[in-house]
Amino acid sequence: MMRGAGRVVSMAVLAALLIGLSAGMARAQVQAGSIDANLSVEGIGSEDRRGRRIVSGYVYNRRAGTYAADVLLLVEALDGSGQVVGSTTAYVMGDVPPSNRSYFEVKAPAPAASYRVTVRSVAWRGYGAGGG
């Protein structure tokens, strides 16, 4: 009987640890913007498994027949009053497919109350590899 009770206690301790760990990973709000109405950004500021601050999310491409290539993001760290306290740029890996989305993950430029992610530049390309 004691063996079953020990498992219940162990499971309760494990659950409490997991809740405590996830509570320690504060999530920061992300504001989004874009130079092109066909692109939008959705993201969140958090910590990765190693405890590093990151900003991650998706870039959405609303164009039906065109890939968004070489998408450059500006990530800004904002303090409680909305002032920029750090910034960095990063490219979205690969192209953002037509009418679809692509994931991004960027090392946060500084600890912050919130972040702003803006699409700074994009190159549009159609289907096909070209060349020939």
Ranges of each domain in the chain: 27-124
Encoding tokens for residue 49?
């498994």
- DSSP designation for 55: E
pLDDT digits (tens, 9 = 90+) for 44-85: 999 999 999 999 999 999 999 999 999 999 999 999 999 999
Q: Is it true that domain 27-124 has CATH number 3.40.50?
A: no
* Cβ proximity of 111 and 54 under 8 Å: no
Q: How far apart are CA 123 and CA 29, in angstroms?
A: 28
Closest CA to 93 of 102, 101, 84, 85: 102
Q: How confident is the model at residue 3 (pLDDT cuts 50, 70, 90)?
A: low
Residue 2 has pLDDT above 90, yes or no: no
Q: Are strands 29-34 and 114-125 parallel, antiparallel or unpaired?
A: parallel
Q: What is the pTM of this model?
A: 0.75
Distance (Å) of CA 127 to CA 46, 75, 86, 120: 35, 29, 37, 23
- CB-side exposure of 71: number of CA atoms within 13 Å? 32
Helix or strand run (H / E) with residue 62: none
